[in-house]
């Protein structure tokens, strides 16, 4: 069995485009509940998209054919059990670990985002790790270096718009250097500590059953609640609460995730 190789690219969405090209994908199954940038990346590669639904535990509600290519996101970094179940069942599972930086390589291929995890505290504006054993015979430019800026909504949007326009590139030297400054053990413990502090505060209001596996370090604390006052209160405290993700029809079960799920940041939070 081949060991998966690490390829360092500019964005997670472009990791997916790399996978599409390397496996010459024509069709892929993706969930309705997913970031629009994923859909855009696939459409740039002219891939036919088949959508699937998920249940309240973030599991697909349908069966796939054994040879189907399936993209599954490790939602909020709390779905490792789902990933392990699906990769045993489907040989062509591709795992989006953008919300699960500390996860091991898994599935046919997997990828993770550096920016999502380390932009708030370290100013990292791009970068992603792709794990695959199928390499492209293409040469890619290196991403341009950048200046770190204050982490605020305006700068996040500006950076996202720039990343949307980028083709597949190799990781920038700035990101490589900033990653060397991170104490990953300290970061993991900070995430866990803050996660459980929020869980202590809100578990009685949370409709999700949250039981972290060992070595699971979430992206956010996902609070599914119809108490809309909680989100407003957190925003007044200065936390940026992003709704994941728009574009879900109201008659889909997944709409409740968009409407009622409050993803509470657990790194740049003062508890």
Strand partners, 54: 60
pLDDT higher than threshold 50 for residue 244 = yes
**Rounded mean pLDDT of the chain?**
93
Lowest mean per-residue pLDDT among 35-49, 121-135, 257-271: 257-271
CA distance linking residue 228 with residue 210, whole number of Å: 20
CA distance linking residue 53 with residue 187, whole number of Å: 33
User: Tell me, what's the pLDDT at 270?
Assistant: 53
Selected residue with higher pLDDT from 157 and 65: 65
pLDDT higher than threshold 60 for residue 269 = no
> Tell me: the pLDDT tens digits for 174-204?
999 999 999 999 999 999 999 999 999 999 9
DSSP annotation string for 202-252: HTTT--S---PPTT---SEEEEE-S-HHHHHHHHHTT-----S-S---TTS
**CB-based contact 138:93 (threshold 8 Å):** no
> Tell me: the pLDDT tens digits for 127-136?
999 999 999 9
pLDDT higher than threshold 90 for residue 3 = no
Task: For residues 137-143, give the mean pLDDT.
Answer: 94
Sketch out the chain's domains with CATH numbers.
5-179 (3.40.640.10), 184-265 (3.90.1150.10)
Task: For residues 93-97, give the mean pLDDT.
Answer: 98
Lowest mean per-residue pLDDT among 100-104, 143-147, 191-195: 143-147
pLDDT band at 67 (very low <50, low <70, confident <90, very high): very high
User: Tell me, what's the pLDDT at 159?
Assistant: 78
pLDDT band at 105 (very low <50, low <70, confident <90, very high): very high
Contacts of 120 (CB under 8 A, 6+ apart): 151, 265, 267, 268
Number of CB atoms found within 10 A of residue 111's CB: 25
Task: For residues 18-45, give the mean pLDDT.
Answer: 96
User: Tell me, what's the pLDDT at 175?
Assistant: 96
pTM here? 0.94
User: Tell me, what's the pLDDT at 2?
Assistant: 56
User: Tell me, what's the pLDDT at 271?
Assistant: 54
pLDDT higher than threshold 90 for residue 47 = yes
Structure tokens at 64: 């796939």
The percent of residues above 70 in pLDDT, for the chain, comes to 98
pLDDT band at 268 (very low <50, low <70, confident <90, very high): low
User: Tell me, what's the pLDDT at 1?
Assistant: 44
pLDDT band at 35 (very low <50, low <70, confident <90, very high): very high
């Amino acid at each position: 069995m081949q060991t998966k190789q690490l390829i360092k690219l500019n964005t997670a969405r472009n990791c997916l485009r790399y996978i599409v090209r390397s496996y010459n994908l024509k069709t892929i199954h993706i969930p309705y509940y997913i970031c629009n940038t994923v859909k855009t990346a696939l459409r740039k590669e002219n891939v036919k998209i088949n959508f699937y639904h998920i249940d309240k535990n973030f599991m697909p509600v349908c069966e796939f054919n054994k040879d189907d290519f399936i993209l599954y996101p490790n939602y909020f970094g709390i779905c490792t059990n789902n990933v392990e179940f699906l990769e045993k069942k489907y040989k062509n599972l591709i795992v989006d670990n953008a919300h699960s930086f500390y996860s091991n390589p898994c599935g046919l291929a997997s990828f993770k985002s550096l920016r999502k995890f380390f932009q708030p505290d370290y100013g990292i504006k791009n970068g992603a790790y792709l794990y695959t054993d199928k390499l492209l015979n293409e040469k890619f430019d290196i991403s341009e270096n950048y200046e770190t800026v204050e982490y605020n909504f305006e700068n996040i949007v500006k950076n996202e718009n720039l990343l949307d326009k980028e083709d597949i590139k190799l990781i920038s030297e700035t990101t490589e250097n900033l990653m060397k400054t991170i104490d990953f053990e300290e970061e993991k413990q900070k995430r866990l500590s803050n996660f459980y502090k929020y869980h202590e505060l809100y578990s009685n209001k949370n409709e999700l059953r949250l039981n972290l596996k060992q070595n699971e370090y979430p992206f956010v604390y996902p609070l599914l609640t119809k108490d809309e006052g909680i989100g407003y209160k957190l925003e007044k405290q200065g936390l940026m609460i992003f709704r994941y993700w728009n574009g879900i029809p109201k008659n889909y079960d997944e709409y409740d995730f968009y409407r009622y799920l409050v993803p509470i940041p657990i790194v740049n939070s003062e508890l």
